[in-house]
Amino acid sequence: MPHRVTIIPGDGIGPEVAEAAMRAVNATGVDIQWERKELTADIIIEAGKELPAHVLDSLNDTRVGLKGPITTPVAGGFKSVNVALRKKLDLFANVRPVRTVPGLKTRYNDVKIDMVIFRENTEDLYSGLEHEIVTDVVESLKIITRYASMRIAHYAFNYAVKHGRKKIAAVHKANIMKLSDGLFLRCCREVAAMHPQITYQELIVDNASMQLVMRPEQFDVLLLPNLYGDIVSDLAAGLVGGLGIVPGANMGENVAVFEAVHGSAPDIAGRGLANPTALMSSAAMMLRYLGEEDAAVRLTKGIEQTYIEGKHLTKDVGGSAHTDEFTDAVIRNL
């Protein structure tokens, strides 16, 4: 039976990178039944909500999604589509593998970077609970719960055990936020005690950021609350080439949505200049989730070989190829 996957192309460069990713996945030979659901800024405005029913219904049905970038309409009171998806579908774990891409020149070519970042996805300051106490004085509430902290910690440690990872670093600011970040750390320590084979350490978020820039090769798995995870995962992406390179996944108990985390780049939309690497690599993560390990490995190696050859790279990574040319090269290299 084919795997059913909801494909949400998005807007801006989304349809271009989504088409490239689908072509690459189809070329692996895995039987995917794509269910295309359109979601753009215009559709959001027309529907009056971030997540129209047709999108949610499809994801709840297929339980697997591949998503391109979507522009959240400015003004009008709309929340981020990504935040809305995570809350509605309880996609509690944001997973970002950050790896050196062979052949891609960066400032860190003298070291090998290979880490996975786990970010709690449902609470913290991203709960959006804020109000104006008096004129020009605003309060935002940071929500940290034992339930969510234990859940993301278990997910990260189970991943580390399954994939042979050796070290996990919990990142925090408990020296200042002793109650909220302190609770997150206590949960991480409790789960760490269940996995003595994994080396566990704790880093204050500002120190972790400095260490990432100075010696990124030291990190294996990072475990963070929502806000720090958002910032640190983008920082880490910058070490290996940027958001156009790094894949991402939002994992729940029953639903998983795989996505590129870069923006919709409307300034280059429709010009064939978009780099589909991030969404292709996210699709490789999706294939692993579906149990198609061989196809996932071949797709990843096809991308890497294209960078090693260096003949069909897009402009953002030093080449001059169009999106279709890059995609054709990846498919040849499968």
85 and 194 co-located in one domain:
no
Per-residue pLDDT at 139: 96
Region label for 172, one of left (φ > 0), alpha (ψ between -120 and 50) or beta (otherwise): beta
What's the CATH number where 256 sits? 3.40.718.10
Establish if 168 belongs to a structural domain: yes
Of 45-54, 143-152, 191-200, 265-274, give the lowest mean pLDDT range. 45-54
Structure tokens at 163: 């994939």
186 and 260 co-located in one domain:
no
Q: What percent of the chain has pLDDT over 70?
A: 99
263 and 275 co-located in one domain:
yes
Give the three-state DSSP class for 232.
Answer: helix
The DSSP letter of residue 124 is: B
Compute the radius of gyration of the chain from its Cα atoms: 20
Nearest to 249 by CA among 118, 126, 127, 61: 118
Host domain of residue 52: 1-97+242-334
Establish if 271 belongs to a structural domain: yes
Domain boundary among 204, 220, 239: 239
216 and 262 co-located in one domain:
no
Q: Is the pLDDT of residue 55 over 80?
A: yes
87 and 31 co-located in one domain:
yes
pLDDT averaged over every residue in the chain: 96
Mean pLDDT of all residues in 161-165: 97
Mean pLDDT of all residues in 130-140: 96
Q: CA 80, 84, 87, 91 torsion: positive or negative?
A: negative
pLDDT band at 5 (very low <50, low <70, confident <90, very high): very high
Establish if 120 belongs to a structural domain: yes
151 and 196 co-located in one domain:
yes
Per-residue pLDDT at 80: 80
pLDDT band at 49 (very low <50, low <70, confident <90, very high): confident
Establish if 102 belongs to a structural domain: no
List strand residue ranges (DSSP E) for 106-251, in order.
Answer: 114-120, 130-134, 137-140, 167-172, 199-204, 221-224, 247-251
117 and 232 co-located in one domain:
yes
Which tens digits make up the pLDDT trace of 164-198? Answer: 999 999 999 999 999 999 999 999 999 999 999 99
Mean pLDDT of all residues in 199-217: 98
Structure tokens at 255: 């639903």
pTM: 0.95
Establish if 40 belongs to a structural domain: yes
DSSP output for 177-190: STTHHHHHHHHHHH
Domain boundary among 239, 260, 283: 239
Domain boundary among 182, 208, 239: 239
Establish if 1 belongs to a structural domain: yes
pLDDT band at 81 (very low <50, low <70, confident <90, very high): confident
148 and 220 co-located in one domain:
yes
Mean pLDDT of all residues in 273-284: 98
Answer whether 280's CB lies under 8 Å from 303's CB.
yes
pLDDT band at 76 (very low <50, low <70, confident <90, very high): low
Burial class, 53, CB count within 10 angstroms (exposed 0-12 / middle 13-18 / buried 19+)? exposed
Region label for 72, one of left (φ > 0), alpha (ψ between -120 and 50) or beta (otherwise): beta
Q: Which residue has the tokens 């055990």?
A: 161
Name the domain count of the chain.
2
292 and 253 co-located in one domain:
yes
